Structure 1
Amino acid sequence: WSLGLKGERRDLAPVSTSYYRVQAPVSTYHHRVQAPVSTYHYRVQAPVSTSYYRVQAPVSTYHYRVQAPVSTYHYRVQAPVSTYHYRVQAPVSTYHYRVQAPVSTYHYRVQAPVSTYHNRVQAPLSTYHYRVQAPLSTYHYRVQAPLSTYHYRVQAPVSTYHYRVQAPVSTYHYRVQGPVSTYHYRVQGPVSTYHYRVQGPVSTYHYRVQGPVSTYHRVQAPVSTYHRVQGPVSTYHRVQGPVSTYHRVQGPVSTYHRVQGPVSTYHRVQGPVSTYHRVQGPVSTYHRVQGPVSTYHRVQGPVSTYHRVQGPVSTYHRVQGPVSTYHRVQVPVSTYHRVQGPVSTYHRVQALVSTYHRVQAPVSTYHRVQAPVSTYHRVQAPVSTYHRVQAPVSTYHRVQAPVSTYHRVQAPVSTYHRVKLRVDK
């Protein structure tokens, strides 16, 4: 096929690579490359697809000691760009080792679906970023079709490693007009994500998303996330369509965050936001933060959260910098918790903790707990809470086990409530 040389400006035939019933390793090596490694798809009107069908040997790609940028461009693609991994019984892995230049992927003005399918994978799917000194960024710009990722019936571990990254890691989703969905369905092996010794900022931007954003997780094995970050971590979400998250987990879920720089999260949502968690194993979260943590939520659609947990839920927060949370909500906010195992929360804060809530619609919270609930707060700095509510606020607690709360505060604690409508408790 042609890229437009000698006056040819269009490509009308599919560009595809097929590996059919391959019993030996399929690998690509880039060893000590000092010049750019790039792939261009320019004005392609036919599907660009890569298929791995019934592969019984490892499929791997290595980038080793690359000193120049490694980039992939998809520019004005009007047909679907898809990658299929079907019935893969050997590991599928991608390695980026000692990369000193930026590694970026661009999807620019894509009008057709961009999808990745992993179907019936019985071996590990892993991605490694090791000693990367340049930015790792992914850009999705003016995408008018759905961006979806499917992991279906994966029986082996799915892991992502970011190890000793000294440059910023950023993901941009800009002006996406189609649905963005991620499916993890019937995963029977552990799902783990490691971010270890990241010294540059980690930022995620979702800007002007007009279609629904949904995430579905159904996992039967442990899910663990580890974050150790020395630079600022910021997340920006501006979404105009519904955002829904579904988690059904039968194994333990653990999250570890150790952050030395500021952590900021910004959410501006105009559509409904719903989160569903059904967990049958223990859920543990650990946060150790030395810099300020700020969260901003501006929501114009309903926000609903559902938690059904049958195992213990424990949360640990150790914060040395200020923690501030801002919520401005104009529609109903409902939270449902049904827990059958112990719920424990530990907070140790040495800096200012401030929470601001401005709500113009009803806020309802339902807690049904059959096991002990314990909360521990040790605060050495001022704690201030501001609530301005113009609609009914209802809170329901049904507890069949002991509830213990411990507060040790060495600084002033101030609470402000301004309510214009009825309050039901």
Structure 2
Amino acid sequence: MSRKPGGSLRSLRRSNQEQVIALLIAQGPLHRAELARQAGVSRTTVSTIVSELLARGLVTESYEQPDGDLDGRAGNRLLVNPRAAVVAGMNHTFDGVWVHLSDLAAREIASSGTTLDPGTGPAERVEAGASILQRLLDSAGLERQQVIGVGVGVPGPIHRETGVVGVSLPGQPWSHVHAADELQQALGLPVVVENNTRLEGVAEARWGAGRGVANLLYFGLSSGIGSGLILDGRLYRGAVGAAGELGHVSVSVDGAPCPCGNRGCLVLRAGLPAVLAALRPSFGEETELEEMLARTAAGDRAGEKVFTDVGTVVGQVLANLCNLLNPERIVVGGELSRAGEVLLRPMRDAIRRHALSLVRDVDVVPAELGLGARVGALGGAALVLSETPDLAAALNRMSGITA
């Protein structure tokens, strides 16, 4: 019985510490008096908490004069130390892996990747990602225990309850693999695994063309067509984690059979292989996508027709999604997005023609962060920052609680 009061006091102190950390994470630099007011504790209590957090390196002081701060207290504002911990993103594509380290202010610390043979198995892919992560930590002078978590992207849908990667295209190296278990065991860190197209959407929402938008639809036109839905500021996954398989929306019930088992899927009309097949009769069998895009941009009528057809059929599907979800903005990524306005213009036209009047004026814009595995890795780091269940408590545990 004699230990209970001490335990209760420690629990209360820990709770107060985490409340202070959470306020600083959510609102940025604050004065001690404002912290006390918002936390609902005395200034003396806040001073005691802050002294300990400063000693542990979780909190630091800022002496910069903020814009509009007219109360004469430019100094002594407190903020969470961005280097108190780090988050990592890791993105596995068919032909490579990329790893990204960010501090708590979402600023890049280090980033690197490597190419892999498409036939490389999951074990070798995990090993490659783990090796890059350790190298980045070493180069930044960071310890593994400073990593709050790793957001990992893989191709394919991930079952929300089992964690097993499903199949949306043939030849996926992660199919039927429990990716979260494999990665967590190899990395020894908390891991969240997500479809890598969704992570591209998370990255665009935080740093790219979707900044400041609470309801966003991102989709990538590549070999497959996946999407990421950001609804009310959070990534939407669906009941079992299969939301966003835009490429397997049927656009023709009598169309060609798709490997997914459906017929007339959008990916058979607007995926990269289908678009290349439509362009090659005019451009030649040996012509690469880069040249096709360049010639189309220069006014080639055959190229313009193919991209107009693709933009129109994609726009018809997006019109239905606008009616259903009413996004504020649609961000288009993937290799085919480089076609630019020749693709986006017919997409917008089809949305305006087929969507309800209330939702038809949605913004349709190209992605800003580019292509490649790096974008999904950025999204993985952002996902850890936004979805760690209690970031303040995690930081408090990582730096240790004094007796």
Q: What TM-score results when the alignment is normalised by the length of structure 2?
A: 0.21
Larger strand percent:
1
The TM-score with structure 1 as length reference comes to 0.21
Comparing both chains, which one has the higher relative contact order based on Cα–Cα distances under 8 Å and sequence gaps of 6 or more? 2
Answer 1 or 2: which has greater helix percent: 2
